[in-house]
């Protein structure tokens, strides 16, 4: 991690920076030169903790810090305690391929969050405009496609859209009970309510025949 930062003197001609209050200007410079700021332009930090370092009240720091965020000069994920400066590499580019190789050591000091994934993509795109030697020095970790928050939800089976259960043969398309289907087949005249008519007729004929013999 480098122990110095470059500050372009043209910052005093930058419309966003000049429009900031004195406190907001100081907060931006404080973040840019903070000992925990990595060479990737991101760090772990919280407004109350940073305010304590300056001897400011949390309210004073938050007001100035919010102004920097509104101008897009810094990014913050309060849940992950991520703080990043989007244009850091633009004004603090790597001086050699060895600096790019050392970037991988900074990753453990930057909290995991969606803003970190976006930062990694920004770093990857930044090196495309550098020389071949710089591009070849980019660690493999940065070459991978980092999935965003939404893609993780799509890849997680738990977040897949639930399919509608198959419709039962006893249900209609709306899921209502299907009415019973009436059998249009006419009953066999030889079978009524389970009684065989032929057997009954034969028994009656036999009885009549036996009666006539008597």
Q: How does 3-15 read in b/e, with b if 16+ C-beta sit within 10 Å?
A: eebeeeeeeeeee
Q: How confident is the model at residue 71 (pLDDT cuts 50, 70, 90)?
A: very high
Q: pLDDT tens digits for 154-184?
A: 445 454 455 444 444 444 555 555 555 445 4
Provide the 8-state DSSP code for 105.
G
Helix (H) or strand (E) holding 195: strand 195-196
177 near 170, Cβ under 8 Å?
yes
Looking at residue 23, its pLDDT comes to 98
* Paired strand residues for 44: 82
Looking at residue 102, its pLDDT comes to 79
Q: Which two tokens stand for residue 94?
A: 């790597």
State the pTM of this model. 0.64
Q: What is the mean pLDDT of residues 2-9?
A: 80
């Amino acid at each position: 991690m480098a122990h110095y930062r470059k500050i372009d003197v043209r910052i005093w001609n930058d419309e966003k920076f000049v429009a900031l209050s004195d406190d907001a200007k100081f907060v931006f410079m404080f973040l840019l030169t903070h000992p925990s700021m990595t060479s990737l332009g991101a760090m772990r930090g919280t407004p109350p903790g940073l305010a304590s370092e300056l001897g400011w009240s949390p309210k004073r720091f938050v007001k100035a810090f919010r102004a920097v965020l509104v101008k897009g000069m810094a990014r913050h994920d309060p849940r992950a305690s991520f703080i990043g400066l989007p244009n850091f590499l633009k004004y603090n580019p790597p001086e050699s391929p060895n600096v790019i190789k050392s970037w991988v050591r900074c990753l453990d000091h930057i909290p995991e969050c969606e803003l970190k994934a976006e930062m990694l993509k920004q770093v990857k795109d930044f090196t495309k405009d550098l020389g071949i030697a710089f591009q070849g020095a980019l660690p493999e970790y940065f070459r991978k496609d980092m999935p965003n928050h939404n893609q993780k939800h799509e890849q997680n089976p738990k977040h897949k859209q639930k399919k509608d259960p198959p419709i039962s043969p006893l249900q209609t398309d709306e899921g209502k009970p299907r009415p019973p289907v009436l059998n249009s087949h006419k009953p066999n005249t030889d079978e009524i309510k389970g009684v065989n008519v032929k057997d009954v007729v034969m028994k009656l004929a036999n009885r009549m025949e036996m009666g006539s013999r008597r």
